[in-house]
Amino acid sequence: MSEIRKDPTSHTWIVLSTERGKRPSDFREREVGPPSALRPCPFCGGEEMAPPEDVHAIWPGEIDKRTKGWKTRVLPNKYPALRPGIELSQAEADTIYHLLSGVGAHEVIVESPNHEDTLATMPPSQIEAVIRTYCQRYKFWRRDPRVTFVLIFKNYGVAAGASLEHPHSQLVATPIIPPRIFEELEEAKDYYLRNKECIYCRMIKAEAEAKVSRKVLENDTMFALCPFASRFPCELYILPKKHAAALEEITQKEVSDLAKMISKVFRRMNKVLNDPPYNFMIHVAPLRTPGLLFYHWHIEIIPRLTMPAGFEWGTGIYINIISPEDAAKALRQAK
């Protein structure tokens, strides 16, 4: 069973998840290459993924109306960091330590039946099915009073932390608001109180009008940019042009535009960076406050081209060796 521990000297929380039964000496040997390459893919199968009896264990994802085959699937993570069905409890230890039970959820969203698919090669209609599955999962977890926040993310490539090749995203539902989200909420609220405007809406306007723009792409309802203070080379945000704090408020037109935008962004990233490893994260408002006027859902994409090192770990300040202006220009021009 996992625990969520608070560091008494900072805003850091950690999840202690010892399900894999590792011992310190197991790290003497360094893993090289994708560990999955030698095993049969667990997500390629059909019937073996049928739901076990546990109600928390599996949901169907999306079915293709024509072929009756699955388009997306939602499965429990084999080694869940957090799990549903347990009490949310807190405890103190040694008078200075604070911890919570590891309640929440950890799911895998299989994005396609096709093992070779990537976000750059999938047809946008398949990406639409993935977005609808994300929305369904947010709606599902909104009903659980123990869950406060849901992060949907994707690790692509070994250097980005992926252990399986088959296209998939993950969902972790937490009983706390993660520090990174808390920070964004605080900044956005502060800006809103001073200016009566959402900082993200303002940022889209600023980038659309800027002389030296960090805009990468836009369509009717979506906008992609390299953020002004990009932490990593070619870091990228995708935002809806119309203000919304929760992804599941998305309209069918926006789903379609977002799918096209994701497809284009990753095809261009492949052109410029040659199929880089990356992390993809969706930031939404906490589940109890879906209609916030000052928070604006967005996707953050970080190609993993450089490694945070001592300075980054020691200060929380990132040294970025490519300007977001140059990154945006290269991605704009990569047709």
Q: Does 41 bind Zn ion (CB under 5 A)?
A: yes
Within residues 278-317, the interface with Zn ion by CB under 5 A covers 283, 296
- CB nearer to Zn ion: pick between 139 and 205: 205
CA dihedral 237→147→247→285, nearest 10 degrees, is: -60
Q: Quote the CA–CA distance of 151 and 57 in Å, as a whole number.
A: 18
Contact in structure between 235 and 324 (CB atoms under 8 Å)? yes
Residues contacting Zn ion: total by CB under 5 A: 11
Q: What is the DSSP track for 211-245?
A: SS--EEEE-SSEEEE--TT-SSTT-EEEEESS--S
Give the residue, chosen from 19, 34, 36, 44, that forms a contact with Zn ion under the rule CB under 5 A: 44
Within residues 177-216, the interface with Zn ion by CB under 5 A covers 198, 200-201
Give the residue, chosen from 1, 55, 79, 115, that forms a contact with Zn ion under the rule CB under 5 A: 115
Give the residue, chosen from 132, 243, 268, 304, that forms a contact with Zn ion under the rule CB under 5 A: 243
Q: DSSP character for 30?
A: P
In angstroms, what is the minimal distance from the CB of 42 to Zn ion?
Answer: 8
Q: Find the helix packing angle between 252-273 and 324-333, rounded to 10°.
A: 100
Q: DSSP character for 48?
A: G
Q: DSSP character for 197?
A: S
Q: Does 151 bind Zn ion (CB under 5 A)?
A: no
In angstroms, what is the minimal distance from the CB of 115 to Zn ion?
Answer: 3
- Binding segment for Zn ion (CB under 5 A), chosen from 14-22, 62-70, 228-236, 243-251, is 243-251
Phi/psi of residue 284, nearest 5 degrees: -130, 170
Give the residue, chosen from 71, 137, 154, 166, that forms a contact with Zn ion under the rule CB under 5 A: 166
Applying CB under 5 A, which residues contact Zn ion? 41, 43-44, 115, 166, 198, 200-201, 243, 283, 296
